[in-house]
Structure 1
Amino acid sequence: MEFRKKRLMIGEAKEMDMVHCLSQLCYEPVKIIRNDHWYHSPLREEHTPSFKVNQALNRWYDHGMGKGGNLVDFGVLFWECSVADALVKLSGDFSFQQQQILPVRSAGEHQGKIKILDSFLLSSWPLQRYLQQRKIPLKIATQFCCEVRYELGEKVWYGIGFENDLGGYEIRNAYHKVSSSPKRITTIQHGATNALIFEGFFDFLSFMVICKTNEHDNADYIILNSLAFLEGIQPLLDSYKNVSLFLDNDDAGKNAVELALTWGKQYQDERRFYEGYGDLNDWLINSPGA
């Protein structure tokens, strides 16, 4: 199959199906009402979907921004570039035209196992943009994460991969999250006497951002990847002089912290630093001083 080598004419670009293009960019509608496809805005962070594409008109409108238009208008805002550069990306550098790679849904929606096809340096633009939305610099992400492509349900998918101690991956993209088997904790050890515990890898990456230093070897880091592993690794945690818990500010996180605090005086609840936010990454994204 051959792909367009020269730049699209602006009229051609405007006629490209926007719902399909958004899917190629790792964005799927949250709900569909007749011709209206509603998304969480690809142009900004939001929790309530307010970005609408009318597929019959092939036009979009972001209610939160009060802006809308055709695919070229969207490309200029999405890639933060000129019309000419947007046309180049839509015609040649728009890499997701070259293969059908769609975002994953939550793990419970799929049957069967994930088969990891390959892993390599993070490079896909939608994944880089997702990191930007979560305020994680690419330089930090690439120290601990990779890009993975994998097979599930006879389709090829992609995401940011964070490897655990048994070779499985936590996988994230702009919409969904899944895990490949085997699922396990991730340990980053420096032979330290202090350990910092995180519930998920985006909280760990957020801590790396907040530290703003390369001197991270004064502690060991344990990313649980699931709270279900906490109780099982108590013997490992008991071997540390100090254990700092950076868990989520929800009921599950609260219960896990309360359990750990009964294990000894070396356990410390660090959630006060991001009180009022869901987790450490939520604080990084939304705190005015972050």
Structure 2
Amino acid sequence: MDFRKKKLSAQEAKEIDLTSYLSSLGHQPVEIRNVDYWYRSPLRNEQEPSFKVNQKLNVWFDHGLGKGGNLIDFGILYHNCSVGELLQKLDTDFSLHQPTSFASNKSVDRESKIKILRDFPLTSPSLLQYLHDRKIPIEIAEQFCREVRYELNNKNYFGIGFKNDSGGYEIRNPYFKTGCSPKDITTIDNGSNEVLVFEGFMDFLSFKTTTKNLPEKGQDFVVLNSVSFFERARPFMENHSQIRLYLDRDTTGINCTQRALSMSSKYKDESILYKNHKDFNDWIMNPEKAPKKHLGRRM
């Protein structure tokens, strides 16, 4: 089956997440301030980061050059090529199209139209490379994820699928993240008296990566798949004597953590481990700050 019937358009290229694209090129943020991601410029040599990406607007600005714009503006400068050559390069290098806009107000409509065609073990080179870039070993990912082929607007796509308790999938690839209905949390019940809570499955996989030498079934887990599902997860979480929260370090995640701490002494904030980073995965992607062995069970 041909999964690449339609060439990548300029509009689709502009909607590719800039931070994910920079990661695919080997560039990681030096600092994250809310929605602003600061890099050492990929377009020139510098010691102090002056290249900013506003992730909400999906635009960049290089203060040293005095230039900025969208992904196409960046790509033609970075690769020293024309717009047509850049679109061909994006098509050839990744073979992954962004199916719709990143705009959050379209997410419900997008998810309702996704039809899962089939799922199977992770095999696509571009997805395996994406996991490598996110510092997730394949042997960890394949325990919890599947490669999914799905249909959206009469076009076929593929990505890494993480199943929830209702049978829906959270889906990721280097250019976008989406999901299919029904939406729900994902719970892993190993009969432990403590539960670890993550906002997204990449953070859960990151934790499993850093603790792969610990007993495989020593803890229970909840992946919220959206912080909005925190209340839905409370019955499962509060059936444990200790609840360890590894939520994102953005405003939403921090506020959710603070509310949980005010509800019960069972809740513990573990996000201090990556306090200078956006989330757990962002932390392990930073080679200057290797995770420590104390991430596992506490005595």
- Verify same fold: TM over 0.5: yes
1:253 Cα deviation (Å)?
0.5
Which residue type is aligned with residue 143 of structure 1?
Q
Matched to 1:29, the amino acid is A
From the superposition, tell whether residues 220 and 44 of structure 1 become closer, same or farther in structure 2 (CA, over 3 Å). Answer: same
Rounded to whole Å, the distance in 1 between the matches of 2:180 and 2:15 is 27
* 2:98 equivalent to 1:103: yes
Residue 267 of structure 2 corresponds to residue 267 of structure 1: yes
What is the CA–CA distance in structure 2 between the aligned matches of 1:265 and 1:138, rounded to whole Å? 36
Contact 2:283/2:289, CA 8 A, preserved across alignment:
no
Percent identity, aligned pairs only, is 40
- The AA in structure 1 aligned to 2:257 is V
CA distance in 2, matches of 1:280, 1:125: 24
Separation in 2 of the partners of 1:219 and 1:266?
Answer: 15
What letter corresponds to residue 156 of structure 1 in structure 2?
N
Shift of 1:218: 1.2
* Amino acid paired to 2:13: P
What residue ranges of structure 2 are gaps of 5+ in the alignment? 29-52, 54-59, 61-70, 291-299
TM alignment of 1:70-109, pairs within 5 A: 102-105=97-100, 106=102, 108=106
1:35-50 paired onto structure 2 within 5 Å = 40-41=21-22, 42-46=24-28, 48=60, 49=71, 50=74
Query: Is the 1:200–1:223 contact (alpha carbons within 8 Å) kept by the matching residues of 2?
Result: yes
1:196 CA drift (Å): 0.1
- The Cα of 1:129 is off from its aligned counterpart by 1.0
Aligned to 1:90: none
| Residues 190 and 57 (structure 1), Cα distance of their counterparts in 2 relative to 1, 3 Å cut | closer
SS in 2 for 1:278: coil
Q: Is the 8 A contact 2:113 2:152 kept in 1?
A: yes
> 2:170 & 2:113 partners in 1: Cα distance?
14
Q: Does 1:170 align with 2:170?
A: yes
Q: Which of 30, 46, 51 is the equivalent residue of 2:75? A: 51
SS in 2 for 1:233: helix
| Aligned-pair Cα RMSD in Å | 3.2
* Superposition deviation, residue 188 in structure 1: 1.1
* Greater than 6 Å deviation, 4+ residue runs: none
CA pair 45-131 structure 1, distance change in 2 beyond 3 A:
farther
1:279 is matched with 279
* Partner residue in 1 for 2:186: 186
Q: Distance in 1 between matches of 2:187 and 2:258?
A: 22
Which residue number in structure 1 is paired with residue 13 of structure 2?
A: 29
Long gaps (5+) in structure 1 = 3-18, 33-38, 61-69, 79-93
Residue 191 to residue 51, structure 1, CA distance change in 2 (3 Å):
same
Q: What CA deviation, in whole Å up to 9, does each residue of 1:158-214 have, x standing for no partner?
A: 100000001000000101111100000001110110000000000000001111315
Which of 1 and 2 has greater Rg?
Answer: 1
Deviation at residue 287 of structure 1 after TM alignment = 4.5
Q: Secondary structure at the match of 1:139?
A: helix
The CA deviation at 1:289 is 3.0
Q: TM-score, normalised to structure 2's length?
A: 0.68
2:297 alignment partner in structure 1: none
Distance 1:286 1:145 in 2: 23
Task: Give the structure 2 partner of residue 250 of structure 1.
Answer: 250
Q: Secondary structure at the match of 1:213?
A: coil
User: In the alignment, residue 104 of structure 1 is paired with which amino acid?
Assistant: P
User: 1:6: which partner in 2?
Assistant: none
